[in-house]
């Protein structure tokens, strides 16, 4: 099957230009002007007219939680519904977090996540590994996972009693990645101190979701971020901070990078477009409970600056959807029991196009960089993914930068009963989405198939080591 995309503007992280793209099977075969020559039928079976549209590499969301068990329930999107929703929003690859349960092996956790995804995902997927126990056995297992294409490991200074690791455990895991080429990803909040403050907050009679936002001080994200960066410095390894939300954490990353350290970080749309105020409307605020929490709006300017200056390299979603009815309401009367996480995998590209490019905060090339190319490079997928180049996977989006749409739970494809952005009008939308050469979304219709998505066996984070 050969598909020709004509008359589009190719937008990459490095620049933009007008050209046609010829896809042969699953990969990009040719890029150039007037490829049709004697007529599109001569070289292609299908032609997509991209006049007035962008042709961009498919979005890559390196932080999702399909079916994550959390707080006595599980995130609602499966690999089928989640990758389908992602595709509608122009994201053609996800990297999800497999979970090692306490007392079990990494292998068991990874196998369980393979079983959830294989035969179900409609677009490609990879895995990071959440390590709940760092011990001699799991440290040894890390080497095998790196070799089989799961080269990064998320550890937590948050969630005591669940995912929390102490500094010694984190340092041991970092030392291991110095030898095996893996990358440590850190959820950096001081969970021990936060639990004390959360108890004080409950004791003071604040039980609504706003308590979650008030108790998780931003300074405790800054402290933990600096601490894990310094642990990585001591171990001589790069480190990647996930879901960075706070000015203090941004300062810690910027300071480290100014010193020349290989510290990397992502933020998420919720920290750029939502704020602590969203958590204040009684129990409705449960819709916005995630960790780190939404911050006062004045933190956002620092995050945008970080994205412009490359102190933040990636925007991922931390997509972790729980219904408001029946899941979030487990926390009525005690905000600590609200399952942590927000839906977002479908809206990332459009929110960032609208609030970033259209709003004049970032260029369209930077938009492609932070949503596709940088994640591909940092997470061992480049140039198969994250590029519009001959030989790359034909994961492509024909993107209309002018079309407006209204975000709503009534029309979204994520398997969750609310939207954090209900009623927000965004400019920019995906018209046609291709995954490895197959059209999986066209003009608002899903045309892909369950099981089309393949496991992405990823390389080690060499880009992070060369930075």
Separation of alpha carbons 111 and 162, rounded Å: 20
Compute φ and ψ for 53, nearest 5 degrees: -115, 165
User: HSE of 141 in the Cβ direction (CA atoms, 13 Å)?
Assistant: 19
**Token pair belonging to 315:** 């925007």
CA distance 114 to 307: 33
Nearer to Zn ion, 248 or 318 (CB): 318
The partner in contact with residue 341, picked from Zn ion, ligand URP, none with C-beta cut-offs of 5 to 8 angstroms by kind, is: ligand URP
Contacted by 464, from ligand URP, Zn ion, none: CB < 5 to 8 Å by type: none
Binding site for ligand URP (CB under 6 A): 65, 187, 243, 290-291, 318, 320, 340-341
Two structure tokens written together for 309: 């200056």
Pick 5 or 183: Cβ nearer Zn ion: 183
340 binds, among Zn ion, ligand URP, none (CB under 5 to 8 A by kind): ligand URP
Q: Three-state SS for 159?
A: coil
Pick the stretch among 13-21, 185-193, 245-253, 367-375 that binds Zn ion (CB under 5 A): 185-193
CB of 166 to ligand URP, least distance (A): 17
- Select the residue interacting with Zn ion from 187, 348, 353, 454 (CB under 5 A): 187
What number of other Cβ atoms are within 10 A of residue 175's Cβ? Answer: 15
Nearest approach, Cβ of 68 to ligand URP (angstroms)?
6
Selection from Zn ion, ligand URP, none that 290 binds (CB < 5 to 8 A by kind) is ligand URP
Find, among 59, 33, 32, 35, the residue nearest to 47 by Cα: 35
As a whole number of angstroms, the distance between CA 328 and CA 332 comes to 8
Asked whether the CA dihedral 279, 426, 58, 367 is positive or negative, the reply is: negative
Is the peptide bond preceding residue 292 cis, with omega within 30 degrees of 0? Answer: yes
Residue nearest ligand URP, CB atom distance: 340
CA-nearest of 93, 102, 29, 32 to 59 is: 93
Report in angstroms how near the CB of residue 317 gets to Zn ion at its nearest: 9
Cα angle 133, 135, 139; round to 5: 100
Sequence-distant (6+) residues with CB within 8 A of 422 are 407, 408, 409
Nearer to ligand URP, 318 or 400 (CB): 318
Q: By the 8 A CB rule, do 120 and 450 touch?
A: yes
The window from 83-91, 137-145, 313-321, 394-402 that contacts Zn ion (CB under 5 A) reads: 313-321
Residue 314's binding partner among Zn ion, ligand URP, none (Cβ under 5 to 8 angstroms by kind) is none
302 binds Zn ion per the rule CB under 5 A: no
CB 339 to Zn ion: min, Å: 12
Q: How far is the CB of 350 from ligand URP (least distance, A)?
A: 21
Strands 438-442 and 91-99: unpaired
Which residue lies nearer to ligand URP by CB, 187 or 436?
Answer: 187
Q: Which is nearer to ligand URP, 88 or 156 (CB)?
A: 156
Cα-Cα-Cα-Cα dihedral sign, residues 197, 296, 299, 237: positive
- Comparing CB distances to ligand URP, the nearer of 323 and 365 is 323
Among 223, 318, 354, 400, indicate the residue that binds Zn ion (CB under 5 A). Answer: 318
Least gap, CB of 354 to ligand URP (angstroms):
23
Footprint on this chain of Zn ion (rule: CB under 5 A): 187, 318
């Amino acid at each position: 099957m050969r598909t020709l995309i004509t008359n589009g503007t190719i937008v990459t992280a490095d620049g933009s230009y007008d050209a046609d793209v010829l896809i042969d099977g699953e990969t990009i075969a040719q890029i150039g002007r007037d490829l049709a020559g004697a007529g599109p039928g001569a070289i292609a079976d299908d032609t997509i007219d991209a006049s007035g549209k962008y042709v961009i590499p498919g979005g890559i969301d390196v932080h999702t939680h399909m079916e994550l068990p959390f707080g006595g329930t599980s995130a609602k999107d499966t690999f089928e519904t989640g990758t389908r929703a992602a595709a509608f929003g122009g994201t053609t690859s996800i990297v999800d977090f497999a979970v090692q349960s306490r007392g079990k092996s990494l292998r068991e956790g990874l196998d369980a996540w393979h079983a959830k995804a294989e035969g179900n995902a409609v677009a490609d997927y990879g895995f990071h590994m959440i390590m709940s126990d760092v011990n001699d056995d799991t440290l040894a297992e890390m080497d095998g996972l790196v070799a089989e294409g799961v080269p990064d490991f998320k550890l937590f200074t948050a969630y005591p009693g669940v995912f929390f690791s102490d500094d010694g455990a984190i340092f041991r895991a970092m030392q291991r990645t110095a030898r095996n080429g893996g990358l440590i990803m850190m959820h950096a909040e001081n969970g021990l101190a936060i639990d004390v403050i959360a108890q004080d907050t409950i004791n003071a009679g604040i039980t609504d979701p706003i308590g979650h936002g008030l108790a998780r001080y931003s300074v405790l994200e800054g402290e933990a971020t600096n601490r894990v960066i310094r642990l990585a410095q001591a171990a001589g390894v790069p480190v990647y901070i996930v879901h960075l939300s706070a000015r203090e954490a941004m300062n810690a990353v910027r300071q480290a990078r100014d010193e020349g350290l290989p510290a990397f970080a992502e933020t998420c749309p919720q920290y750029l477009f939502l704020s602590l105020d969203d958590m204040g409307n009684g129990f409705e605020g449960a819709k916005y409970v995630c960790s780190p929490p939404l911050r006062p709006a004045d933190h956002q300017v620092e995050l945008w600056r970080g994205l412009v200056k490359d102190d933040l390299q990636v925007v991922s979603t931390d997509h972790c959807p729980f219904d408001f009815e029946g899941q979030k309401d487990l926390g009525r009367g005690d905000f600590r029991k609200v399952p942590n996480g927000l839906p977002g995998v479908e809206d990332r590209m459009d929110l960032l196009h609208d609030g970033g490019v259209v709003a004049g905060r970032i260029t369209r090339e930077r938009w492609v960089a932070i949503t596709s190319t940088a994640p591909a490079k940092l997470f061992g997928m480049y140039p198969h993914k994250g590029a519009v180049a001959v030989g790359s996977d034909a994961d492509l989006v024909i993107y209309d930068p002018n079309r407006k749409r209204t975000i709503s739970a009534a029309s979204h494809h994520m398997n969750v009963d609310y939207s954090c952005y209900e009623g927000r009008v965004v400019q920019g939308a995906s018209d046609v989405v291709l995954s490895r050469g197959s059209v999986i979304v066209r003009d608002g219709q899903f045309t892909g198939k369950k099981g089309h998505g393949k496991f992405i066996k990823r390389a080690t984070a060499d880009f992070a080591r060369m930075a």
